[in-house]
Amino acid sequence: MSAVFFATITVMHFDLTTILPTIGYLGVFAIVFAESGLLIGFFLPGDSLLFTAGFLASQNIFNIWFLILICFLGAVVGDSVGYWFGQKVGKRLFHKKDSILFHKNNLEKTQQFYEKYGKKTIVLARFMPVVRTFAPIVAGIGDMNYKDFLSYNIIGGILWAIGLPMLGYVAGNSFPDVDKYLLPILIVIIVVSVLPSFIHIAKDYLGKKKS
């Protein structure tokens, strides 16, 4: 979790308001897709990126309707690729050695989360860094019915990939000089998004300590 936090802060240090106009719609799609369905995307700053992209749309740098369309498609298609990957080769990951881009512990934690919350994990995971990358893979490993998966995938995509850009767009249009407070807002978004994971890890640690 801390790795994700500091990676996101590093990206923010380079200023997402400068990076996003440079990479454009295609770059935004690629990042959302990678974080949703590729193992290498777990460290990407999805929440802060979506909010910032929405804010930039309020400044007429992006078209908000096209932006939320590509974000939604990137999220849903990315999760579907993750599901397919989990079905085809996911079980082998439990025997894979840790590397810079892969830690088996992330997969195991996501599996525990999935076992606890079931199908709605696909929706809840959208707002949890790392977990959202591994959740569709775990669903594929568990042979979750694809129609059910797709339904939850779409709901999660609407709430996350459309909701956060719209939130940024509304904030940019509603509050004067909101850009001056963009960094604190993004930090709050990151803290809120990693808080559930932190609480879950803390509960596990305290539970093991008591036992």
Q: What is the pTM of this model?
A: 0.75
The confidence score (pLDDT) of residue 96 equals 64
Instruction: Give the C-alpha distances (Å, rounded to integers) separating 78 from 72, 126, 200.
Output: 10, 12, 25
Neighbours of 37 (CB within 10 A): 25
Structure confidence at residue 2 (pLDDT): 41
What residues have CB less than 8 Å from 182, skipping those under 6 apart? 17, 52, 55
pLDDT, residue 137, reads 87
Q: Provide the residue-wise pLDDT of the chain in tens; the chain has 211 residues.
A: 444 444 444 444 447 778 889 999 999 999 999 888 776 655 566 788 898 899 899 889 999 999 999 999 999 999 999 999 888 876 776 666 655 555 677 677 777 777 777 788 888 888 887 788 888 888 888 888 899 999 999 999 999 999 999 988 998 888 766 666 556 665 666 555 555 555 554 555 455 555 5
pLDDT value at residue 7: 47
Q: Which residues are CB-contacts of 202 (< 8 A; sequence separation ≥ 6)?
A: none
User: Could you tell me the residue range of the domain that residue 48 belongs to?
Assistant: 2-210
Cβ-Cβ contacts under 8 Å for 56 (sequence gap 6 or more): 17, 20, 21, 62, 168, 172
pLDDT digits (tens, 9 = 90+) for 43-61: 566 788 898 899 899 889 9
How many structural domains does the chain have? 1
Name residue, tokens 């999760």: 79
pLDDT of residue 27: 92
What pLDDT is recorded for position 28?
93
